[in-house]
Chain A
Amino acid sequence: MTQTLDQIFVLAKHWLLGFLPAAIQPFCSALLSVVAIILVFATLFAITTWLERKGLGRMQNRLGPNRVGPCGLLQPLADGIKSLTKEDIVPAAADHAVHFMAPVLLVAASFLGYAVLPIGRNMVLTNLNAGVLYFFAVGSLMELAVFMAGWSSRSKYSLLGAMRAIAQMISYEVPLVLASIVVILHTGSLSTVAIVDRQAVYTGIWPHWFVFTPWGLAGFVLFMVAATAESNRSPFDLPEGESEIIAGYYIEYSGFKFALFFLGEYIGMFATSAMAITLFLGGWAAPFSFLTWVPSYLWFFAKLLAIISAFIWVRGTLPRLRMDQLMNLAWQFMLPMTLINLLAAGVWQFMPAGVARWPVCAAIVAVPFLLLARGLKQKRKFQLRTYRFSQ
Chain B
Amino acid sequence: MLGDGILKGLAETARNFFGSYVSRDRLTTIQYPEQRDPQIEAARSFPFLVFDGADWQQGLRCVSCQICEKECPPKCIFIEKSKDKKPDAVGKPQFYPVRFDIDISVCMSCQICVEVCPFDAIKMDVDYDLSTDDRFGGLLLDRQRLAKSNEHYNKIHPTEAAAVDAALAEERAKAKAAAEAKASAAAKAATEAKAAAVANPAPAPQPAAGESQ
Interface residues of A (CB under 8 A from B): 55, 58-63, 313-314, 316-318, 333, 369-370, 372-373, 376-377
Contact = CB atoms under 8 A, between A and B. Distances in A.
B206 to A, nearest CB: 85
Interface stretch (B23-31, B46-54, B143-151): B23-31
B212 interface: no
B10 A317 contact: yes
Given A58-B21, A373-B2, A376-B2, A317 B9 contact: yes
B13 A59 contact: yes
A61 B10 contact: no
B1 interface: yes
A313 B10 contact: yes
A179 B10 CA distance: 24
A313 B29 contact: no
Contact of A58 (B2, B17, B28): B17
Q: Is the interface of B mostly helix, strand, loop or mixed?
A: helix
Query: Which 5 interchain pairs have the tightest Cβ spacing?
Result: A373-B2, A317-B9, A317-B13, A59-B13, A58-B20
A25 to B, nearest CB: 49
Interface of B: 1-3, 6, 9-10, 12-14, 16-17, 19-21, 26-29
A377 B2 contact: yes
A167 to B, nearest CB: 23
A313 B14 contact: yes
Contact of A61 (B2, B6, B14, B20): B20
B18 to A, nearest CB: 8
Given A59-B16, A62-B27, 11 more contacts: A58-B17, A59-B20, A61-B27, A62-B29, A63-B27, A314-B10, A316-B13, A317-B9, A317-B13, A373-B3, A376-B2
Given A373-B2, A376-B2, A61 B13 contact: no
Given A313-B14, A317-B9, A317-B13, A61 B26 contact: yes
A24 B28 CA distance: 60
9 contacts: A58-B20, A61-B20, A62-B27, A313-B14, A316-B17, A317-B6, A317-B12, A317-B13, A376-B2
A43 to B, nearest CB: 24
Contacts of B20: 58-59, 61-62
B29 A60 contact: no
A373 B29 contact: no
Nearest to B27: A61
B29 to A, nearest CB: 5
Interface centre among B2, B6, B12, B19 (most CB of A within 10 A): B2
Nearest to B3: A373
Nearest to A62: B29
A317 to B, nearest CB: 4
A329 to B, nearest CB: 10
Nearest to B10: A317
Contacts of A372: 2
A54 B3 CA distance: 26
A59 B18 CA distance: 8
Nearest to B6: A318
A58 B28 CA distance: 11
A369 B21 CA distance: 38
Contacts of B1: 370, 373
B15 to A, nearest CB: 9
A143 to B, nearest CB: 27
Nearest to B21: A58
B12 to A, nearest CB: 7
Nearest to A63: B29
B13 A313 contact: yes
Contacts of B14: 313
Given A63-B27, A63-B29, A377-B2, A58 B16 contact: yes
A370 B1 CA distance: 7
A192 B16 CA distance: 38
Contacts of A318: 6, 9
A67 to B, nearest CB: 9
Contacts of B10: 313-314, 317
Nearest to A314: B10
Nearest to B5: A318
B20 to A, nearest CB: 5
Contacts of B26: 61
Contacts of B29: 62-63
B208 to A, nearest CB: 79
Nearest to A376: B2
Given A373-B2, A377-B2, A61 B16 contact: yes
Contacts of B28: 61-62
Contacts of A314: 10
A58 B12 CA distance: 12
A333 B6 CA distance: 16
Nearest to B23: A61
Nearest to A319: B9
A62 B20 CA distance: 8
B38 to A, nearest CB: 21
A313 B19 CA distance: 15
B148 to A, nearest CB: 31
Contacts of B2: 333, 369, 372-373, 376-377
A373 B27 CA distance: 38
A317 B13 CA distance: 6
A373 B1 CA distance: 7
A373 B10 CA distance: 19
Contacts of A59: 13, 16-17, 20
